[in-house]
Amino acid sequence: MFKLFKKSNDKMTRSNRWTFGTMLAFGLIALSAAFVLSVEEIHVIKNPEAVLSCSFNIVLDCSKVMQTWQASVFGFPNMFIGLMAFAVVVTIAVLGLGGTKFPRWFLIAGNIGYLLGAIFAYWLFFNSVYVIQVLCPWCLVVTFSTTMILATMTHYNLRDNIFGFNKKRNKMIQTFLQKDFHKLIVASWLVLLVVLVFLKFGSALFA
């Protein structure tokens, strides 16, 4: 009985390490992207005609995106939000790797926060593709990272039934997770985003 319990704990520990390790990796990637964008933003403010390191052609051009109103939705550059938000993500991931047991309200609030962050990232993504019609490479990195961060937090909360689903529904969710259907959904969503970009810009991406 003890051995079975220990094996179960080992499996849970590995799952937690994978979850928070993934969250930490993409949190650091997104934080780095937000930092680079903040530095590039300063260059654009000083010189609107500056050619940035993330400006490659007429489609992939950070400087053009930075000069649109969508780049400062709340009256200041969006990347400043990223510097604060992703620092929090990294902190949570490190605490999770350290074995911290978060209270239920904190995990739910975190999931809501990550969801709102993802919605904002997707709003910017679709504006870039269909309204501005110019892409910011670093912003794409942030969008991808935000997707993975949301996926890891949601997986963790669903696995531990943090949302408090009834026994029948929770059993269905656990079966869904064990069959890795959630990974298929995330992968399909990312593929869809890539397809939309290629359908919109085609060969101009490489011009």
Q: In this predicted model, what pLDDT tens digit does every residue of 142-191 receive, in sequence order?
A: 999 999 999 999 999 999 999 999 999 999 999 999 999 999 999 999 99
- C-alpha span between 101 and 95 (Å, rounded): 9
- Please state, rounded to an integer, the average pLDDT across all residues of the chain: 91
Q: What are phi and psi of 60, to 5 degrees?
A: -95, 95
Q: What are phi and psi of 61, to 5 degrees?
A: -150, 100
* Other CB atoms within 10 A of residue 77 CB: 21
Q: How many CA atoms lie within 13 A of 9 on its CB side?
A: 7
Q: What percent of the chain has pLDDT over 90?
A: 78
- C-alpha span between 138 and 126 (Å, rounded): 15
DSSP 131: I
Encoded tokens for 155: 């997986």
- C-alpha span between 78 and 101 (Å, rounded): 31
- C-alpha span between 151 and 115 (Å, rounded): 9
DSSP 95: H
CB of 94 closer than 8 Å to CB of 24: yes
Q: Where are the alpha helices (DSSP H) in the chain?
A: 2-46, 62-66, 78-97, 104-127, 137-159, 167-178, 181-201
- C-alpha span between 8 and 1 (Å, rounded): 11
Q: Which of 63, 62, 60, 68 is nearest to 48 (CA)?
A: 63
Q: What percent of the chain has pLDDT over 70?
A: 96
- C-alpha span between 207 and 203 (Å, rounded): 7
DSSP 135: B
- pLDDT-derived band at 6 (thresholds 50, 70, 90) equals very low
The 10s digit of each residue's pLDDT in 42-83 is 887 787 777 778 888 999 998 889 889 999 999 999 999 999
Q: Write down the pLDDT at residue 138.
A: 94
